[in-house]
């Protein structure tokens, strides 16, 4: 089975041609530059950029793969959650190719695809925990099987990636803030600022990051934005985020243990899993407790079409006729 997948839920336009046995014939990720000057994603500009680039990279993918549209068995695209304009462009494009080729179209959930992304390059035991860290979501899932993904905790306000981006903007760094903060933090001292850790000691598995962002905004107003200050605040921010994540995972494991659910694997997925400092902090702590930390391959961490193709390949396509056919900004994993 040969799958053609599209991802356009936010500001990455991506296509992938993947065979059932994981062979990737082509995988193109185009990160839209237009948002940099606005310090964040502008949905209308994202839609226009997807329209401009999607056809080009589709042609390029067929060209470099040596495959033709007629050889594709299944067309698939992200249908949510995400920005509705971008979602409609990608999914309608894929559906049109499917109709034109008289082949099925399979709608795919973006979050589920992030959660399943490490199963492409790792053998994961079930159940395992998944820490999902993206620009729009911060969630802890219990992955009982590829079909049964249970939400245990989530952010009550901002997502981690969003917080990185907002803090980056406050510090005068380029969008997206995540990679920029990670770079600046390399030369910073992580104990320079004592930042708040909301909900840390509450007995639930939810996160809150908006207070952290507000506190950083206050510190920025009271100081001169020079390189040393930016590096120190970036390092202290990363330290604080990793402390919050670490504590919540510990709490989750404890709660699961009380229910006799033993976990030996934790996956970290989504754009923020690119952050080597955070991944290392979590790894260093949990590997001593005999919990394996697994990550997706680098090109499946940030938004990409390969994880959409892989999720589609893992579906029972005999029942795909009944899957939702609409693009929705707020799909939840059932
Ligand atoms: O998963 P993703 O590509 O898109 C969504 O589904 O939202 O995640 C994007 C987020 C952005 O907020 C970006 O700043 C963050 O991932 N990110 C990082 C790093 N690389 C990307 N955050 C921290 N450190 C990084 N190295
Ligand atoms: Zn994503």
Question: Residue 142 and residue 139: Cα distance in Å, rounded?
Answer: 10
Residues of the chain with CATH 3.30.420.40: 2-114+300-319, 122-295
Residues contacting ligand 1 via CB (< 6 Å):
10, 134-136, 161-162, 164-165, 176-179, 182, 270-272, 274-275, 302-303
- Whose Cα sits closest to atom 16 in ligand 1? 271
The two three-digit tokens of residue 130, written as one number: 């998944």
Q: Which tens digit of pLDDT belongs to each residue from 127-145?
A: 999 999 999 999 999 999 9
pLDDT of res. 324: 44
Question: Residue 131 and residue 273: Cα distance in Å, rounded?
Answer: 9
Percentages helix, strand, coil for the chain, rounded to the nearest 5?
45, 20, 35
Q: Which tens digit of pLDDT belongs to each residue from 93-115?
A: 999 999 999 999 999 999 999 99
Helix (H) or strand (E) holding 127: none
**What do you get for the CA distance between the two ends of the chain, in Å?**
26
Strands 24-31 and 74-80, bridge-based pairing: unpaired
What crossing angle do the helices spanning 177-185 and 227-258 adopt, rounded to 10°?
Answer: 110
pLDDT of res. 203: 85
Query: Across the strands, what pairs with 131?
Result: 140, 268
pLDDT of res. 322: 42
pLDDT of res. 330: 67
CATH of 122-295, one of 3.30.450.270, 1.20.58.740, 1.10.1660.10, 3.30.420.40: 3.30.420.40
Mean pLDDT over each residue of the chain, to the nearest integer: 94
Half-sphere exposure of 141 (CA within 13 A, CB side): 28
Residue whose entry in the numeric block shows the structure tokens 């040393």 = 228
Cβ–Cβ < 8 Å for 13, 2: no
DSSP reduced 3-state for 146: coil
Range 2-114+300-319 has CATH code 3.30.420.40:
yes
- Whose Cα sits closest to atom 23 in ligand 1? 178
Residues in the chain with pLDDT values less than 50: 322-324, 334
Report yes or no on whether pTM surpasses 0.85. Answer: yes
Q: Which atom of ligand 1 is nearest to the CA of 168?
A: 14
**72: DSSP letter:** -
pLDDT of res. 42: 96
């Amino acid at each position: 089975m040969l799958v053609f997948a599209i991802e356009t839920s936010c500001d990455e336009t991506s296509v992938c041609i993947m065979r059932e046995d994981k062979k990737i014939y082509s995988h193109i990720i185009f990160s839209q530059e237009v948002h940099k000057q606005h310090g964040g994603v502008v949905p209308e500009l994202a839609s226009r950029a997807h329209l401009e680039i999607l056809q080009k990279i589709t042609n390029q993918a067929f060209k470099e793969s040596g495959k033709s549209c007629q050889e594709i068995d299944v067309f698939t695209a992200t249908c949510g959650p995400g920005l509705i304009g971008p979602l409609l462009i990608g999914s309608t494009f894929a559906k049109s190719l499917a109709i034109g080729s008289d082949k099925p179209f399979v709608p795919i959930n973006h979050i589920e695809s992030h959660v399943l992304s490490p199963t492409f390059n790792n053998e994961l035991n079930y159940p395992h925990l998944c820490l999902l860290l993206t620009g729009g979501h911060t969630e802890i899932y219990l992955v009982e099987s590829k079909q049964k993904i249970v939400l245990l905790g989530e952010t009550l306000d901002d997502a981690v990636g969003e917080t990185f981006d907002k803090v980056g903007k406050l510090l005068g760094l380029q969008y997206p803030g995540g990679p920029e903060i990670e770079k600046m933090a390399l030369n910073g001292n992580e104990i320079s600022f004592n930042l708040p850790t909301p909900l840390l000691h509450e007995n639930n598995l939810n996160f809150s990051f908006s207070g952290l962002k507000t506190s950083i905004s206050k510190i920025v107003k009271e100081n001169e934005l020079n390189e040393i200050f930016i590096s120190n605040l970036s390092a202290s921010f990363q330290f604080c985020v990793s402390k919050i994540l670490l504590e919540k995972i510990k709490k989750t494991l404890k709660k699961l243990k009380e229910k006799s659910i033993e976990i030996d694997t934790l996956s970290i997925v989504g754009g923020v899993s690119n952050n080597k400092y955070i991944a290392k902090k979590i790894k260093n702590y949990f590997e001593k407790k005999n919990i394996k930390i697994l990550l997706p391959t680098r090109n499946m961490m940030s938004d990409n079409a390969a994880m959409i193709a892989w999720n589609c390949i893992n579906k029972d396509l005999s029942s795909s006729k009944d899957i939702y056919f609409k693009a929705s900004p707020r799909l939840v994993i059932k």
